[in-house]
Amino acid sequence: MIISKADLSALLQAKHATPHSVLGMHPLMRNRSQGVVVRAFLSGVATCEVMELDAQPPKAHPMKAVAPEGVFEVFIGKRPTVFRYQLRATYANGEIRQFFDPYCFLPTLGDQDLFLFNEGNEHRIYNKLGSHLRSLGNVPGVSFAVWAPSASRISVVGNFNRWDGRFHPMRSLGASGVWELFVPGLGEGELYKFEIRDQRGGILLKTDPYGTYFEPPPNNAAIVCNTAKFHWSDGAWMDQRRAQAGQLDRPMSVYEVHLGSWKRKPEDADRPLTYRELAVQLADYAVDMGFTHIEVMPLAEHPFDGSWGYQVTGFYAPTHRFGTPEDFAWFVDHLHSRGLGVILDWVPAHFPRDSFALAEFDGTHLYEHADPRQGAHMDWGTLIFNYGRNEVRCFLIANALAWLDRYHLDGLRVDAVASMLYLDYSRKEGEWVPNKFGGRENLEAIDFLRRVNDLVHQYHPGVLTIAEESTSFPGVSKPSQEGGLGFDLKWNMGWMNDTIRYFAKEAVVRRHHHSDLTFGMLYQYAEKFVTVFSHDEVVHGKASMLFKMGAWHIAEKAAHLRSLYAHMWAWPGKKLLFMGNEFAQSREWAHDKSLDWHLCHYPDHEGVRLLVRDLNKLYTSEPVLGANDFNPQGFRWLSCHDSDANLIAYLRSDPAERTLFAVVGHFGGATRNYRIGVPRHGFWREVLNTNSEYYGGSGLGNDGGRNTEDVARDGFSQSFNVTLPAHTTAVFKWTAEA
């Protein structure tokens, strides 16, 4: 036996930290003869030979079993250098296989790769770490690489080695903390995990942080997958997107969707639709409804359906629930072919404590802060990323770029930004650690957000980054070069909360809450806002949008909701509406069942849907509404103080006021005749009235429009008189003198 007893024992106990120093082929001087020793550790093998490939004919060198567990070795003398070889193994069942030795290949990562990763600047580390189909020296196989600096030993395990960590221990690449191994002969579809021995001798079985495809729970193994094999056909779309980079003020109406509950297949055990089924049906519906973008709730792999995707365990993998990564690429490609952008809800604020995923990955607090005052999320029971650690920041930045690179996404909506910005978020006094200046701002997270926004815009011009940020943190949608966070857009949570609070009141008391309608204009142009009613507004006992309305009967609630939606679409800001809200679903959203599409057979619900469709068409066809959302010169109050009438009126226009829209929202409970002052003589055509019979209203309106009269009102020398039914918003467009 040539191998030392210490090395043999370490191999057999899966404790060897440097397996490449003993396994494979190595030069050896023995009995004054220069030769090589070849050593292998194989599962289920009875006998093994070394096949010398360049000999003519190929020469076999029988190996000696030095341990019954499968350790073989042979000394081949009179060989001054190593040579090309394969192992020829005979298994206990008589099967014979010949294959390349995993321990005869050089590392798949170079010093520059590792340096940039440890520095936090390898923006495409997802092409290096994880599992990748490669050919080394024309030998096909799979390379595995994982960052775990505190591990004492790591093996890749899978069906190919009976999930036994003794047989494929990985090579440590020194101080980088990266471990790697190339396994020839493996291919796409192989299941694997990393078996990690920590410094205390404990064994951890972890999924790949960079895995691109996963099997379902409870096993959650990563699956070797080629994410680059899909053939895209959206070149024209991508060219147009690049050409529009920086042109933010254009129509954008977003339909937010949870793919698992938009529609299901009741005839097939009520299963969710697949990515490909969803692509066709969702595109047909969204195009008909006039939406410009689809925003999907988080699709990164997650083990628990009830988290809605917000507790991610596979940050680089589209969830298996609806198909393969190739199917997801088809989904995006098809939506692009129909003229729809695709935005992904991205979750870099936290991750769950599941033992198979990132938490204490190598036996230490690797991805999260060790101090629970910094690393524990108080609201969600999750862990917070250590944004100050270079490799963690690299993981997250590369993750954002990977979704855009691999799947051609048009935007990232970044979840829970407020929780990232503040060290004392949802914490009591003494439960948080101030920053180096003694403040509450999370400086490392702020720097991370600026970097990821800048790099997204650098590598993918035209892609949007959108912040879900609920505080008054300054400059969220301001460029980082000007001191902002660098997002393109920000959800307008303040407007949403104020407006819902107002509409939840009964009409008779709304006069006391009029400021809820008007306060938002004080800060409307401080950020580039998206006006939203998202999934968060229709869960956890908050009631559906329909049942939030301050009325007793469905028909009246529907009238309230129609008036609210018309006000929302006319108000400055891009638009976002969660699925089901567009047809006034009665119940709260449930993640595990289909929307109640049957409600569209009833006028109160179908009327709301038809209104939303017309609002989208008006918004996208009129530049005054769709291309002046961020222009403060495009908005002017006509009436904002008449709380007794429960009425607001405002003007939307281009800066030169060549095109004018007057929006009148009457949110009281009785019909009114009301005079509105306007800046232009002529005929004001009624282009939309939420009381139309077409939408389920009574039909009372303004006979197609009103001519102005020389009656001073609201600071203007002319005005017109409008008929305003209860709970109605009407939109008028100025035309030439009648």
Side-chain-side CA neighbours of 657 within 13 Å: the count stands at 10
Backbone φ and ψ of 240, nearest 5°? -65, -40
Which of 422, 660, 408 is CA-nearest to residue 649?
A: 660
Q: Do the Cβ atoms of 341 and 410 come closer than 8 Å? A: yes
Q: Which segments within 311-378 are labelled E, that is strand?
A: 314-318, 341-346
Strand pairing category for 529-533 and 574-578? parallel
Strand pairing category for 341-346 and 411-414? parallel
The amino acid sitting at 312 is V
Q: What is the 3-state secondary structure (H, E, C) of 663-682?
A: EEEECCCCCEEEEEEECCCC
Tokens of 117: 């990763």
Tokens of 57: 């004919």
Q: What is the DSSP string of 380-400?
A: TS-B-B-TTSHHHHHHHHHHH
The residue count of the chain comes to 738
468 in catalytic set: yes
Q: Catalytic residue among 190, 368, 405, 468, which?
A: 468
Q: Do the Cβ atoms of 571 and 529 come closer than 8 Å? A: no
Torsion of Cα atoms, 482 then 485 then 486 then 490, to 10°: -120
Cis before residue 218, ω within 30 degrees of 0?
yes
Residues whose CB is less than 8 angstroms from the CB of residue 429 and which lie 6 or more positions away in sequence, other chains included = none
DSSP 21: G
Q: Which segments within 261-417 are labelled E, that is strand?
A: 264-265, 271-272, 293-296, 300-301, 314-318, 341-346, 411-414
Task: Give long-range contacts, CB 8 A cutoff, 24+ apart: 320-323.
Answer: 320/213, 320/214, 320/215, 320/216, 321/216, 321/259, 321/260, 321/272, 322/259, 322/260, 322/272, 322/273, 322/274, 322/275, 322/278, 323/274, 323/275, 323/276
Q: Catalytic residue among 208, 360, 362, 415, which?
A: 415
Tokens of 317: 């993998």
Q: Do the Cβ atoms of 733 and 687 come closer than 8 Å? A: yes
Q: Do the Cβ atoms of 721 and 706 come closer than 8 Å? A: yes
Which of 130, 86, 77 is CA-nearest to residue 104?
A: 86
The amino acid sitting at 476 is V
DSSP 378: T
Task: State the Cα–Cα distance between residues 376 and 381, nearest whole angstrom.
Answer: 7
Task: State the Cα–Cα distance between residues 326 and 231, nearest whole angstrom.
Answer: 9
415 in catalytic set: yes
State how far the alpha carbon of 123 is from the alpha carbons of 392, 450, 614, in Å. Answer: 12, 14, 43
Helix, strand or coil for residue 621?
helix
Q: What is the DSSP string of 264-287?
A: EEGGGTTEEPPHHHHHHHHHHHHH
Give the catalytic positions in this structure: 415, 468
